[in-house]
Amino acid sequence: MVTTAQKAPEHSLTITDNRTGKTIVVPIERNSIPATALKKLARKQDAQQGDKLEDEVEGGLRVYDPGFMNTAVVQSRITFIDGEKGILRHRGYPIEQLAEKSSFLETAYLLLYGELPTKSQYTLFSNEVLHHTFVHRDLQEIMGSFRHDAHPMAMLESAFAALGAYAPEANPSLVGQNIYTNARTSEASLQLMDKQIFRLLGKAITVAAMAYRMRMGRQFVKPPAGLSYTESFLYMMDHLNEGSSYRPHPTIVKALDTLFLLHADHEMNASCAAVLQVGSTLVDPYSAIAAGCAALYGPLHGGANEAVVRMLVSIGSVENVPAFIEKVKRKEAVLSGFGHRIYRSTDPRSTIIRKVAEDIFAITGRDPLLDTALALRDAALSDPYFKERRLYPNVDFFSGLIYRALGFPTDYFPILFALPRIAGWLAHWRQMMLSPQGVKIWRPRQVYVGEGERAYVPLKERKERKVERGAEPSVVNHPTSTRVFLARESKL
């Protein structure tokens, strides 16, 4: 409720619009203010004051925040991060305790349902998830149609978009836009929602393994029975001979399960925001998860673990670290695996991953790139350029070295980030669908800085003219065959 200045409560802001002298009092709740309160600071458009129609002054003030540097778009109970203190908690449980005592699937349950499961709850959940690992035969055709060198993330995001097509009964566009938001009151809707969550978590390991098998030129492996979630994933990745009693190495299963747990959720990161942006249109959850995969794919986000190893390989040796550091300071390169929008200290996950690396290297042998990584880390942590900008190792700095030691192809690394993050995305999607306030479509505003109104000019009256760079289509090169085709066609 906005009140006048004289009754300003303690937890509030008093804001005076110096253009009009109007004062409003905006309530502060949980150290935040409702952005819409600023819409009360409107005024009559006045050209004398330099106002333009496009500034929308009569609609009230807007908040301009490119990159979401300081904008909260949801209230959530799932994950808390304190970037200054390097704290990460899921439903109140510190990540260090979960990493030591929990498993990925149990943490997924915690993220989704809010509490650590009892034995019967966990049995139901894990059985349901592992019951849904099979995919439609036609999806195998789709996955099999990719080239062997297709980026695995391109396959993964395609797979989730396609998976939705095999569940028409779960598609709001086909059976009713409120089939998930009705879950607030309807048992049938709640079951439908949770069934899609079981399906997505279960099929995620299968499609991820299929992407790997495509890359390796191997047949797909049927989901096994009786193995744990991460064990089933590794089984489908590496099983070769029918009839062999192959089982993944227990230390590798445990290490990868811990890595999955560490990657399960991280509140409003770019890919989670993408899932909720898309989910807010009430589209099916498979499409929302596909959007999350697309966002995570980028080198600034989940693609960073791949970028770190490519960076370390390009540096080559410890001796070349100082030169690379100088290159970064000249802004000619990015120090992948460093920096974070929220953490202004070392990412607590990075510290745990560093320890997991030793467990793996004890089996696989130490990767010489680790020496380069440690030298790079130490050089950056002691350099004022990075200290001033509060750049520290993030979750991606060491994880790629582990995946490399485990023999995964470099471009497969983002899959190992996306796969567990599906649990976090689904937890936030479920929280959105069950929101007591209902779901409002996410529709950000803009500040228009373009042309004012102008009249259409018929083609014959338009004169050839030089335009600024980028303001006309680029002339692109064609391979000879296309050039010849275009030449032939132009004679038609």
Residues marked active site are found at 340, 396
Binding mask 260-279 for ligand SDX (x = CB under 6 A): ------x--x----------
Q: Does residue 336 bind ligand SDX (CB under 6 A)?
A: yes
Angle subtended at Cα 356 by Cα 300 and Cα 246, rounded to the nearest 5 degrees: 105
Pick the closer one to ligand SDX by CB: 331 or 460. 331
Residue selected from 337, 400, 414, 420 as contacting ligand SDX according to rule CB under 6 A: 337
Residues 404-463 that bind ligand SDX (CB under 6 A): none
What would the x/- binding string for ligand SDX be over residues 385 to 404, using CB under 6 A?
----x-x--xxx--------
CB of 25 or CB of 304, closer to ligand SDX: 304
Alpha-carbon distance of 74 to 229, in angstroms, equals: 30
User: What span, in angstroms and rounded, lies between the C-alpha atoms of 103 and 354?
Assistant: 18
Token pair listed for 143:
């996955």
* Site for ligand SDX contains 335 (CB under 6 A): yes
* 3-class secondary-structure state, position 233: helix
Compute how many other C-beta atoms are within 10 angstroms of the C-beta atom of residue 131. Answer: 13
Burial category of 215 from C-beta neighbours within 10 Å (exposed 0-12, middle 13-18, buried 19 and up): buried
CA–CA distance, 287 with 172 (Å, rounded to integer): 11
- With CB under 6 A as the rule, give the number of residues binding ligand SDX: 20
Q: Are 418 and 292 in contact (CB under 8 A)?
A: yes
79 counts as binding ligand SDX under rule CB under 6 A: no
Residue from 215, 301, 354, 377 that binds ligand SDX (CB under 6 A)? 301
Give the H or E element holding residue 22. strand 22-27
Any contact of residue 304 with ligand SDX (CB under 6 A)? yes
340 contacts ligand SDX (rule: CB under 6 A):
yes
x/- letters, 169..208, toward ligand SDX (CB under 6 A): ----------------------------------------
CB atoms within 10 A of CB 384: 8
53 CB contacts (<8 Å, ≥6 apart)?
Answer: 45, 452, 453
> Given candidates 109, 146, 229, 338, which one binds ligand SDX under the rule CB under 6 A?
338
Shortest Cβ distance from residue 12 to ligand SDX (Å)? 30
Residues at the contact surface with ligand SDX, assessed by CB under 6 A? 67, 266, 269, 300-301, 304, 328, 334-341, 389, 391, 394-396
